[in-house]
Structure 1
Amino acid sequence: MATDILMPQLGESVTEGTIAKWLKKPGDPVSKYEPICEVSTDKVNAEVPSTIEGTIVELVVEEGTTVSVGDLICRIQEAGTAAAEEEPKAEAAKEEKASAKAEVPAQEETSMKQRYSPAVLKLANEHNIDLTRISGTGRGGRITRKDILRAIEQGVPAAAEQPVAAEKSAAPREETKPEPAQPKQPAPVAEAAGVPLENGDIEIPVTAVRRTIAQRMVQSKHEAPHAWTMMEVDVTGLVELRNRLKEDFKKREGVNLTFMPFFIKAVVDSLKEFPYLNSVWGGDKIILKKRINISIAVATDDALYVPVIHDADEKSILGLARAVSQLAEKTRAGKLDLKDMQGGTFTVNNTGSFGSVLSAPIINHPQAAILSFESIVKRPVVTNQMIAVRDMMNICLSLDHRILDGLMAGRFLKRVKERLEAYGPNSEI
């Protein structure tokens, strides 16, 4: 008999996923644990394996469709069973489901629509959004945070702007113009619809990965009040040290010795001194994370990923170099596992690798801060009352001002600077 394959939960905080690509089509045989589709979530791209051996009978969800965890995505005829037995059962199940949907679940869906999470209520109140005007995409029609953010972007009327419900009586009533609503804070400008195309313009459909990145960036900017600070670092000694070690390091260890392991090492040691930088906002509390898991930004041709080095504070420069190399290779090969993307507590971004000298990165929600290391540039600098050519670099910190103030962020950044400037050509690693 055919077995229903449901959208799995690809992580404890993942509630939905987008079918990016079907790897099988109806009629194709499939082995147990063989991937049947690729799914994009707000965490990672992952392959969904078959739970049984058999033949694909039906693909219920089209590519590009986002479904909730637990929803039916396809059916597989289990090996050794007769397909003929399945057809009447499937028809009966469809009829039963259609009948039930018009009766009992209608009440369940209505009740679910009226159950709003605290996060949804808070976000709706902040932007003066009338929840009765929003269609929920969650299970049972429940409104999710993503629905609220989408409504804000699309310019859904505020609560004060809703039209008065029509009375049951047919008697005419005087029409009044409602006063313009005064939102508590300005909502983002909605994206232009129906933009006219000129000759030579090219339309590029938004991929599931790009849509997820966009949603996460909007969420971070909406929720976290960003502040920014920068310091200049003299890394002349570090440059000389790396130049001295890199060839032997490559031969001995099999990986390149980049500047990234040194940057991460300076960060994790400083996070131990300033644990508030290694925290998340919990609404009515700040959660200081025990583990120091460093998210590193890795760019591909079409997207940006942030895989995680878990327990980075327990690794040496060698261990960090290997971890960075392995994660970068897996990212560019599209082989990241879900565990590679989970648990990050602080993000490090080496924007200097493509020549940037100054940046203001968006915080990797729900972390407290993100630190960018910019390009190392030779510049004339006054040292010991003399002008000398030094290797200089900017380090740029974006922080969640709900958790961190400028004083603590500045002290943290100063310790990162001091640790990087402490390296010399003869330092041991």
Structure 2
Amino acid sequence: MTKQTAGRTDILLPQLAESLVSATIGKWLKKPGDPVEQYEPICELITDKVNAELPSTVEGTMLEIIAQEGETVPVGSVVCVISTADATAAAGGVGNEGEPAPSSATAVDTASNGAAGASAGRPAPGAASVVTDENAPMRGRYSPAVQQLAQQYGLDLTRIAGTGLGGRITRKDVLQAVEHGLPPAAVQAPIVQQATFAAGTGDFARAPLSVRTTGLHLSETPAIPKVEVEGQSLGGRNEYILDVTPIRNTIATRMRQSVAEIPHAWTMIEVDVTNLVLLRNKLKDEFKKQEGVNLTYLAFVLKAVVNAIKDYPIMNSVWAVDKIIVKRDINISLAVGTEDSVITPVIKKADQKNIAGLAREIEELSRKARAGKLMLDDIQGGTITVNNTGSFGSILSYPIINYPQAANLTFETIVKRPVVIQDMIAVRSMANMCLSLDHRILDGVICGRFLQRVKENLEGFTLDTKLY
């Protein structure tokens, strides 16, 4: 939304969603005097539902910031002023109500995330030279997916040219750099030594051990709430005040509502996922080349859960005081942890997707959640929540139910353990699955059978299982 006068354009806070009437300015990405390109993000917006970036609708120079960081402003209010004295023509003209009318070439470039950037004079994605383009304001901002790929292939992101908006590096740029044989980064992961016993010598030898990662997708500069020192407290200790963001306030309200209204019960089973580990190891590399996304264990877990819900549809329900509403569509809320909150984007009609489709949905929703790109529709309509707490090493957890759903299921980390099979000890890959349930709707018997069906589905994966 804009309001334009001669030589300057007022940027207004848009209507992000029908039910939202205000938003909080999280962080300004531009300061007065900075050049601003059309469609370039100028600030981050925080609402009680989703976070979003506010793009500029015109090209020009940041003239004045009206709404300060941390300030909550109503829809339609002026947040900043951009000088457009020399930029109106370059922006392709102005349409109705001061809105810019972008050319088709600009629209295509934006929709494709700048995939055709090389033809516009940018360096080739696989170029093995340090990029120092001053006209690439997004050059140093890496998404979690890009950082993960760079770490996986040992690449130096400063040596990759970005074709995304504002020079930002995309996953496609990294994959093309791999195909072009870009040299790995100079800094290599350290080698951790493991003590191994040398039989017959009574000594321990040192053997190299591959470095394990936590599985967390942390950004390069994690978002940390602003901390202010209140002053001296009793005993001479300082007090630190954290501002409660709208998202944190919403989380607190819903968690309190869930615990207060829902009588929680909890149960757990262990699952032998040895065959699943072998299957994923067999398929993951080829799947990555073909689809461009990771084949995670979570995709198989979701498929097992969806098939179990088909047998026990009461798990897909909500409490409505004098009735229980059983949902026809299986919409799985996927708990995604960011640096400062937990967001639950929804995989709609998950029962109609195969394993490959679920893997693509997981990758896309997780990427959007961590980049603050989720739309309101992405987080609505969930009927049951699944959380991969094993990604950060958890072996046992007690999840709070995502109100007003009836169940929250967690898949814990996979650990090799000795187990007894037919009176013989074997080393197997084992994982726990924990279920929190609404005891108004669900009882131990039905949930026990449901978990056993999930267990059977997970243990039923074989090397012949198809992804499509």
TM-score, normalised relative to structure 2: 0.57
User: Which runs of 5 or more structure 1 residues have no equivalent in the other structure?
Assistant: 81-192
State the Cα deviation string for residues 34-91 of structure 1 (Å, max 9, x = none): 76653322321124567899999997765434467x57565879999xxxxxxxxxxx
State the Cα deviation string for residues 347-369 of structure 1 (Å, max 9, x = none): 11111111111000111222221
Q: C-alpha displacement at 1:228, in angstroms? A: 1.1
Please name the residue that 1:373 is paired with: 411
Q: C-alpha displacement at 1:287, in angstroms? A: 2.8
What is the correspondence of 1:25-424 to structure 2 with a 5 Å cutoff?
37-48=43-54, 62-66=68-72, 72=77, 196=233, 203=240, 205-208=242-245, 209-424=247-462
Q: Aligned to 2:240, what secondary structure does the other structure show?
A: coil
CA distance in 2, matches of 1:255, 1:48: 28
Q: Compare 417-426 and 9-18 and name the one that shifted more.
A: 9-18
The structure where helix makes up a greater share of residues is 1
CA distance in 2, matches of 1:194, 1:213: 28
Residues 46, 338 of structure 1: 8 Å contact kept: no
| Identical-pair percentage | 60
Q: Aligned to 2:394, what secondary structure does the other structure show?
A: coil
* Aligned residue pair count: 316
CA distance in 2, matches of 1:226, 1:194: 40
CA distance in 2, matches of 1:251, 1:55: 42
State the Cα deviation string for residues 215-265 of structure 1 (Å, max 9, x = none): 332232223222211111111211121122222222333222210100010
Q: Aligned to 1:211, what secondary structure does the other structure show?
A: helix
Q: 1:386 to 1:253 in 2, by over 3 A?
A: same
State the Cα deviation string for residues 295-324 of structure 1 (Å, max 9, x = none): 212222232222222222111111111221
Q: 1:364 to 1:15 in 2, by over 3 A?
A: farther
Q: 1:245 to 1:33 in 2, by over 3 A?
A: closer
Matched, 1:426 2:464: yes
CA distance in 2, matches of 1:19, 1:196: 31
Residues 306, 341 of structure 1: 8 Å contact kept: yes
Q: 1:251 to 1:323 in 2, by over 3 A?
A: same
- Structural RMSD (CA): 3.7
CA distance in 1, matches of 2:60, 2:440: 53
Q: C-alpha displacement at 1:327, in angstroms? A: 2.1
State the Cα deviation string for residues 328-362 of structure 1 (Å, max 9, x = none): 22233333333332322221111111111100011
Q: In the alignment, which of 1, 19, 41 is matched to residue 25 of structure 2?
A: 19
Please name the residue that 2:153 is paired with: none
- Structure ranking higher on relative contact order (CA contacts 8 Å, 6+ apart): 1
CA distance in 2, matches of 1:223, 1:25: 46
Residues 363, 399 of structure 1: 8 Å contact kept: yes
User: Which runs of 5 or more structure 2 residues have no equivalent in the other structure?
Assistant: 5-9, 86-229
CA distance in 1, matches of 2:330, 2:456: 20
Residues 3, 12 of structure 2: 8 Å contact kept: no
Q: 1:255 to 1:7 in 2, by over 3 A?
A: closer
Residues 61, 83 of structure 2: 8 Å contact kept: yes
> 2:462 is aligned with what amino acid?
G
Q: C-alpha displacement at 1:22, in angstroms? A: 5.2
Q: Compare 266-275 and 26-35 and name the one that shifted more.
A: 26-35
Residues 65, 81 of structure 2: 8 Å contact kept: no
CA distance in 2, matches of 1:326, 1:17: 25
Q: 1:378 to 1:57 in 2, by over 3 A?
A: closer
Q: Aligned to 1:246, what secondary structure does the other structure show?
A: helix
Q: Aligned to 1:359, what secondary structure does the other structure show?
A: coil
CA distance in 1, matches of 2:327, 2:249: 29
Q: 1:316 to 1:385 in 2, by over 3 A?
A: same
Residues 43, 342 of structure 1: 8 Å contact kept: no
